[in-house]
Amino acid sequence: MAYFQSCIITGSALYEAKLRLYLHHDYLGTNRNQTTPVVPTEPNDFGQINVIDWSIEEGSDRGSKVVAHAQGMQVQCGKNKQQWYCSFNMVFEDDRFKGSTLGVQGVYEASSPKEWIIVGGTGQFKLAQGTVSATNLSEDANGRILELAFHIFYRTIES
């Protein structure tokens, strides 16, 4: 058997999905869902690493149904301003997409609109690609809530 094989894929269809969900980013308080194992000594917190397990919910209100968790990390990558590189797997736990994931990454500034890329997926979202637009809805001393608009292209692959 050769180390490389190529074939035409049959039984594969391209699908499009749009989701509107809410990310609850709690960096302080009893609902805290991130930790900082690396605290830098550089100005502007350059190099700070946060490990995240943000909840992604149906609604913007506290206590809305949890649909997924964003599990990964963010790194403060701006030497002269607060600019964060974020990389996480969005792990679904609701009945509709349970066990599926989306790989998301991108750079953002806390005060500006964000757009991240979807770099892959599993389960229902096999071979996913697309974008996530995030808008700050609210912020208080403990964290912020972001509205997330997903535009996803994915394939179904028959066994």
Domains of the chain as residue ranges with CATH = 16-157 (2.40.480.10)
Q: Is the predicted pLDDT of residue 29 greater than 90, yes or no?
A: no
Q: For residue 89, what are its two tokens?
A: 């797997």
- Quote the pTM value: 0.86
Q: Which amino acid is at 81?
A: K
pLDDT tens string 59-112? 999 889 999 999 999 999 999 888 999 999 999 999 999 999 999 999 988 667
Give, in degrees to the nearest 5, the angle at Cα 34 between 28 and 40. 90
The CA distance from 115 to 108, in Å, is 8
Q: What is the mean pLDDT of the chain?
A: 88
Average pLDDT over residues 129-144: 91
Using DSSP, state whether 44 is helix, strand or coil. Answer: helix
Predicted pLDDT at 8: 59
Give, in degrees to the nearest 5, the angle at Cα 16 between 15 and 17. 125
